[in-house]
Amino acid sequence: MESTNLLQVYKIIEKIRSENGRHGSREQEWIEERLIDDNLQKAVAKLSIVALHILSALETKSKTGVELATELQVTRGGITRAAKKLLQFELITAKKAPNDKKKIYYALTSNGKVVAKLHDEMHQEIITEIEEKFSDKYSENELKTIIRFLHDLREFEDNFS
């Protein structure tokens, strides 16, 4: 069974949840339980899913708000709100580009790296559980149908007014 299809299913469901205002409290609890630092535990409890994804997106290099919005498929306003929280908890830094003062680059702090790593580990554990629970239950064709259905459902939700 192809795990990329299972990953697609998970990402679609995750996107539906985040777009409908759910804050993934189980995901935050998973991360909080593994943090030793009380201040980081309190910070994670107040972060949105977008904020956690920003941390993971910044692991490889610093990025602008526009780059993050494009990569994470959220609005620039959503990135700005989440970045303000991350800055407040000192999980990221913000620096203006020397040649363009409007362009702000975000980067992880050492605490931000700790939370980002745990966030990534949590996602890996979820993917492993999905593979264990569903790979024997559904064929590749069934998973493709589920993926198509979830995309259609998301499109319906996006266009429903």
Domain 3-149 has what CATH class? mainly alpha
Let me know how long the chain is: 161
For residue 96, what are its two tokens? 């203006």
Kindly report whether the global pTM for this prediction surpasses the value 0.85.
no
Residue with tokens 């539906």, as numbered in its chain: 16
Contacts of the segment 16-22: beta carbons below 8 A, 24+ positions apart? 16/150, 16/153, 16/154, 16/157, 17/49, 18/49, 18/50, 19/154, 19/157, 20/157
- Report the pLDDT value the prediction gives residue 8, as an integer from 0 to 100: 78
- Report the pLDDT value the prediction gives residue 28, as an integer from 0 to 100: 85
Angstrom distance (rounded) from CA 101 to CA 95: 9
- Report the pLDDT value the prediction gives residue 22, as an integer from 0 to 100: 44
Mean pLDDT of the chain: 87
The radius of gyration of the chain's CA atoms, rounded to the nearest angstrom, is: 17
Note whether 109 and 91 are within 8 A (CB).
yes
Q: What are the tens digits of pLDDT across the range 80-139?
A: 999 999 999 999 999 998 888 788 999 999 999 999 999 999 989 988 988 888 888 988
- Calculate what percentage of the chain has a pLDDT beyond 70: 91
Q: What are the tens digits of pLDDT across the range 35-54?
A: 999 999 999 999 998 999 99
